A and B are shown apart, each in its own frame.
Chain A
């Protein structure tokens, strides 16, 4: 099995063959991203490999940088500004900021400029009836304009097309008639869900992704075949589930944001192996920390996600919240003299001052280097040498009367405190108590920052998985193939509505089986139904209420209403049994089980006491330097116990075990860190 995670800076490739993990890192190429994937495949060899699973942030990057193909948007006359409007709201913390603009609005950087967003006279009512017929003459005229402007693809989203797709389908025919064989996405196919803005933006992204991914994926497939690959090429989606690449190209909006979710899946899988079903997953990178939750062995799923503020995509996705704190977060001084960390970041270029690439602003990584947590040699598998003198100079350059020692100490502590508060915030918003959870800590900077949050967050423990620097790529080898479909219909849930709901499922399930090429009784296949419903009077839905398999009858619908109230109460703490429930979106997932990474349990060695490689001065943590033991991770056997303060180094990551903490190597090689005396509770461990 091979997993490839294409990031902005590096393309990570992981192979598992006969239980052995091999890894390689290839620099990503902005101009020819397929090349890095193929190079990684060549290095590890693909002959005899059964699956090649691919995730990329290429689509996301194209959207964020607006390096987009020229696409047009066709909608109901009078509504072309739905893409400028979004859902109207602005970020709560920017409310008095006159410089804020809606990032995709016409006053900023629209995905489709207004002159390429055009209306066609037609109107379908909320119940699907046709109020105004499609004006084909006018449609042809507008398409001719698109032709004159040489658009490369067309997105179509008409009002209420989620209940009646006739006009959209006819328009697609007209596009091909007038413009020839250009990619077209229609909303009733891409995402037949209610609420026009999210459906429209998903459809626009979909046609953009068709243009971006088409040649790329054909090229990867061709070149892998040329290297002798005979297995399946799969693409991962926003929930880190897989689908065959040709299937992915049918609705590529689903794969626009693959990558972060893979870390959550990897955590889930590791959690299974070590018997831990409640996890807060934190991927600490250079510019940000991606936080997600695994509750009772399942990642927290969403039915939509945002590529940037309010740029909404309808797709099943693992909820990953990105907070602006990471190794590259900039250390600064506020006007009132506070040491601040973030939200700005030095990025990968020039990077922290200690990289020696011209950066002069101090970052959290610089603080960690000066503290002794990071060593000058051996960073990022030896690819970067860190220069403490440059790091120190950057801290000296801060405009504050504080002594340099304390600037460094404060920077580290505030970075840790910010990450802890952000993680707590996410936990509380999801109604979970961090005390019941383990903090899965990965990404290059996870191990050096997150153990220090233990005392602030009150999580059970911090877990550093094996290969924390490549953990997301490992997630691509920890997941299933999933085909899914969903559609909306506002239906009041009463026994009388059973036939309508049953018909929706019958149609969806039939089509899904055909797409996946599986029969009714296929093994290794599970069908999951769920719906999103709302209390009458609400404008938002409660998602993922499970529906039993089997025929849908009046009794089933009554059960659905009960389940809705149960889920609502579990999530939000209140129950409104006297308010009627409306079904909005109905969903089927067809899961085809796939081969996954197996974590082999090792036996603890008798000699739990291990000898450090050496001792070092841990500076700026306490008033006086502390002596900290230094270990190589690969020389720590299962069952090894290490008391803090200690530093554990490995090729792509460093773990800092704080004073008062104990780290222990678990059965599959994970490092588990807990407070030495859990009873101490509430004492302030900062000196």
Chain B
């Protein structure tokens, strides 16, 4: 295999017309137009899937990706990926290469669709099935158009698959090694029947898969038109150009930060067996000139249940971290990862191998890897650092039967799915987001309540939980729900032990969250559950780092193991509370303008006590009764801040 130099020199922009044409097989204008065109082709391929699929997870959470990729002689270079789910970005190119190479390039024909879903071959989890359509031009394999999309079910012991307790590949679901779904345009019946013999909801998956094939037809047609119009030389040259261009973006961004080596780590609290072992991801990022390495030495071994992720997932989150901090605006291509080498021992919790433990809840480890790399790079990028988000995706599922026996399900609706981001140099953080690596439409409370016997009593930010800073981290979000019927609850929250909402540049960490249940003898509709210590004391703690006496989140408290039971059963009128972790702050909170602290008090993001304690700002007045007449006491604030600075320099080690 050819030596790939991570530094193409000279810069693309300095190439003469002749050099450019020699390298890329076309002129600069055609390369620009074609590179844009690949972006549009993947968008066109997504368009129909976004509207035509049955699966809500595709439409609401964009849990799919489309790519265009080059032929084997371009090493499957991927000049365009759809702006759908970040969690797929690092896996797509390798998925396509591995699938085609294992199936055999020589076996690929026009009209084929090759599929595969094995996480050890292609990252993410078994529900994400890859569909590859080869594209031919003048009788030669000229590239591929590809879609990877989350399927509602892939079999296994848990409907839909969403469980952290499955303990091996064999419980996880059907594993598809690379094989044809269509051969020369005709369905391969034994593949279709294999799938539908193993999965639930086959009637719903079947048309979704057909829609995917139709989208591949569209992508193929568009790429063929492009090939006919511009010729294979220009099309392939422009694919390399697009990838080189994004590699160069990343290299130039790396060049702008100082050389050095920085370490970062974060943890996943536990797996599904017990809480005796926490799973650490440790990275050492080394950067010299335009090159970087991320070494995962010191990372925990793979877990005993399906909280594991694979090496390609680690590649995703390393790429996402570098994009966020260094090159935020350009789209992903396979070239994004080129200047970065991951050094990753096998069989860690982010490079798991079969069959033990299995891989399903991979996204939680994507979040841990992202956090570890962001913490390491925070030391490199100075003011460009970002505070951590709330960490876990905090998914909650509940199921049960209505009095007439009809089953109901509430999936990812009443947990901590919506929570805060960390702050950065651009300002305070939003408090109501999905995680840094997810995106989607949050379900309306009225839609939730029309579909399941639940009443959402509260969805509000909790004051003083955002990491204090010159720019404040997003506040934790409380969601209280009353379950009107007997219910069975499943939890997937894994980030309480080590504040994931870390502060940067002197900003504070976000507060810890938790999960509680009030399941008293039914006595009518319970109404509002207060946020007072008395109320917490009466609750059954489900998760979090909580004060053992009061059940209130406390840094010095004890860890409550979320998967102590595989699920919780509750009686009618039980109350479930999720409080997400807070997001990290950016910059010294003592530098925040007192007027902004006053507005936070006015708006309930910070209490009067919190303003004094966390920001050294003395505010008086009644934010509830008379919010426009709060007063900042300038002199008292100056004194308090001076005092806090003195205390800090005496006690705190320099961070």
B13 and A335 form a contact (CB under 8 A):
yes
B604 and A114 form a contact (CB under 8 A):
yes
Excluding A79-B460, A95-B439, A574-B52, 18 further A-B contacts by CB distance (< 8 Å) are A78-B458, A78-B480, A89-B440, A95-B86, A101-B430, A115-B623, A125-B455, A159-B449, A160-B449, A195-B447, A196-B446, A335-B13, A336-B12, A410-B32, A413-B33, A414-B33, A428-B47, A573-B211
CB distance from B394 to the nearest CB of A (A): 13
Cα distance, A121 to B214, chains bound together (Å): 51
A490: chain B residues at CB < 8 Å are 450
Decide yes or no whether A572 CB sits under 8 A from chain B.
yes
Smallest CB gap from A577: residue in B: B203
CB distance from A577 to the nearest CB of B (A): 10
B424 and A429 form a contact (CB under 8 A):
no
Question: Known contacts A149-B627, A417-B33: does B426 contact A431 (CB below 8 Å)?
Answer: no
B457: chain A residues at CB < 8 Å are 78, 123
CB distance from B584 to the nearest CB of A (A): 12
CB distance from A429 to the nearest CB of B (A): 4
A338: chain B residues at CB < 8 Å are 28, 31-32, 35, 245
A337 partner, pick from B28, B229, B424, beta carbons under 8 A: B28
B458 and A401 form a contact (CB under 8 A):
no
A571: chain B residues at CB < 8 Å are 51
A418: chain B residues at CB < 8 Å are 36
A99 and B440 form a contact (CB under 8 A):
no
Smallest CB gap from B602: residue in A: A115
A414: chain B residues at CB < 8 Å are 29, 32-33
B83 and A95 form a contact (CB under 8 A):
yes
B60 partner, pick from A77, A196, A539, A572, beta carbons under 8 A: A539
Cα distance, A113 to B600, chains bound together (Å): 11
CB distance from B406 to the nearest CB of A (A): 11
A145: chain B residues at CB < 8 Å are 624-627
B445 and A159 form a contact (CB under 8 A):
yes
B249: chain A residues at CB < 8 Å are 335-336
A85 and B44 form a contact (CB under 8 A):
no
B47 partner, pick from A425, A537, A573, beta carbons under 8 A: A425
B626 and A148 form a contact (CB under 8 A):
yes
Interface pairs A-B: 4 shortest CB-CB: A337-B13, A88-B442, A78-B458, A114-B603
A96 and B433 form a contact (CB under 8 A):
no
Within 8 A of A (CB), among B625-639: 625-628
Smallest CB gap from A413: residue in B: B29
Smallest CB gap from B426: residue in A: A99
Cα distance, A431 to B230, chains bound together (Å): 26
- Interface membership of chain A positions 70-88, coded 1 if the CB is closer than 8 angstroms to chain B and 0 otherwise: 0000000111111011111
Cα distance, A101 to B428, chains bound together (Å): 9
B625: chain A residues at CB < 8 Å are 145, 148
A78 and B460 form a contact (CB under 8 A):
yes
Decide yes or no whether A93 CB sits under 8 A from chain B.
yes
B646: chain A residues at CB < 8 Å are none
Cα distance, A81 to B431, chains bound together (Å): 10
Cα distance, A88 to B413, chains bound together (Å): 13
The contact sample of 30 A-B pairs, CB cut-off 8 A, is A77-B458, A78-B460, A82-B445, A82-B459, A85-B418, A95-B83, A102-B432, A105-B432, A106-B428, A106-B603, A106-B605, A107-B427, A114-B605, A131-B455, A132-B527, A145-B624, A145-B625, A195-B446, A335-B13, A335-B252, A337-B14, A338-B32, A339-B32, A413-B33, A421-B37, A428-B218, A574-B208, A576-B54, A576-B203, A579-B204
Question: Known contacts A96-B328, A106-B605, A114-B604: does B44 contact A424 (CB below 8 Å)?
Answer: yes
Decide yes or no whether A61 CB sits under 8 A from chain B.
no
Smallest CB gap from A193: residue in B: B446
B430: chain A residues at CB < 8 Å are 101-102, 105-107
Question: Known contacts A431-B48, A573-B48: does B446 contact A81 (CB below 8 Å)?
Answer: no
Smallest CB gap from A339: residue in B: B32
Question: Known contacts A88-B434, A400-B13: does B52 contact A572 (CB below 8 Å)?
Answer: yes
- Interface membership of chain A positions 410-434, coded 1 if the CB is closer than 8 angstroms to chain B and 0 otherwise: 1001100110010011001101000
Cα distance, A370 to B604, chains bound together (Å): 57
Decide yes or no whether B258 CB sits under 8 A from chain A.
no
Decide yes or no whether B561 CB sits under 8 A from chain A.
no
Cα distance, A116 to B626, chains bound together (Å): 11
Smallest CB gap from B43: residue in A: A425
Question: Known contacts A78-B457, A87-B441, A576-B204: does B40 contact A421 (CB below 8 Å)?
Answer: yes
A339 partner, pick from B29, B418, B429, B480, beta carbons under 8 A: B29
Decide yes or no whether A538 CB sits under 8 A from chain B.
yes
Interface residues on A, range: 35 or more
Cα distance, A77 to B480, chains bound together (Å): 12
A309: chain B residues at CB < 8 Å are none
- Interface membership of chain A positions 100-121, coded 1 if the CB is closer than 8 angstroms to chain B and 0 otherwise: 0110011110000111100001
Within 8 A of A (CB), among B43-96: 43-44, 47-48, 50-52, 54, 56, 59-60, 62, 83-84, 86
Decide yes or no whether A90 CB sits under 8 A from chain B.
yes
B439: chain A residues at CB < 8 Å are 89-90, 92, 95
B210 and A574 form a contact (CB under 8 A):
yes
Cα distance, A501 to B48, chains bound together (Å): 32
Which residues in A have some Cβ–Cβ distance to B below 8 Å?
77-82, 84-90, 92-93, 95-99, 101-102, 105-108, 113-116, 121, 123, 125-126, 131-132, 145, 148-149, 159-160, 162, 194-198, 333, 335-339, 400-402, 406, 410, 413-414, 417-418, 421, 424-425, 428-429, 431, 490, 535, 537-540, 571-576, 578-579, 682, 684
- Interface membership of chain B positions 411-453, coded 1 if the CB is closer than 8 angstroms to chain A and 0 otherwise: 0000000100000111111111110000111111111011000
B432 partner, pick from A77, A85, A425, beta carbons under 8 A: A85
Smallest CB gap from A402: residue in B: B28
CB distance from A349 to the nearest CB of B (A): 26
B458: chain A residues at CB < 8 Å are 77-79
- Interface membership of chain B positions 501-522, coded 1 if the CB is closer than 8 angstroms to chain A and 0 otherwise: 0000000000000000000000
CB distance from B259 to the nearest CB of A (A): 21
Decide yes or no whether B528 CB sits under 8 A from chain A.
yes
CB distance from A77 to the nearest CB of B (A): 7
CB distance from A422 to the nearest CB of B (A): 8
Cα distance, A85 to B203, chains bound together (Å): 35
B441 and A89 form a contact (CB under 8 A):
yes
CB distance from A294 to the nearest CB of B (A): 19
Decide yes or no whether B175 CB sits under 8 A from chain A.
no
Question: Known contacts A93-B331, A538-B56: does B432 contact A88 (CB below 8 Å)?
Answer: yes
CB distance from B234 to the nearest CB of A (A): 11
A121: chain B residues at CB < 8 Å are 528
A194 and B13 form a contact (CB under 8 A):
no
Decide yes or no whether B192 CB sits under 8 A from chain A.
no
Decide yes or no whether B461 CB sits under 8 A from chain A.
yes
A148: chain B residues at CB < 8 Å are 625-626, 628
CB distance from A69 to the nearest CB of B (A): 16
B324: chain A residues at CB < 8 Å are 96, 98
A106 and B431 form a contact (CB under 8 A):
yes
CB distance from B569 to the nearest CB of A (A): 23
B56 and A537 form a contact (CB under 8 A):
yes
B427 and A428 form a contact (CB under 8 A):
no
CB distance from A106 to the nearest CB of B (A): 7
Cα distance, A11 to B65, chains bound together (Å): 45
CB distance from A335 to the nearest CB of B (A): 7
B15: chain A residues at CB < 8 Å are 337
Cα distance, A503 to B29, chains bound together (Å): 63
Decide yes or no whether B228 CB sits under 8 A from chain A.
yes
CB distance from A575 to the nearest CB of B (A): 8
B44: chain A residues at CB < 8 Å are 424-425, 428
A421 partner, pick from B36, B50, B211, B433, beta carbons under 8 A: B36
Cα distance, A477 to B439, chains bound together (Å): 43
B56 and A428 form a contact (CB under 8 A):
no
Decide yes or no whether B114 CB sits under 8 A from chain A.
no
Decide yes or no whether B543 CB sits under 8 A from chain A.
no
A99: chain B residues at CB < 8 Å are 328, 424, 426
B445 and A429 form a contact (CB under 8 A):
no
Decide yes or no whether B113 CB sits under 8 A from chain A.
no
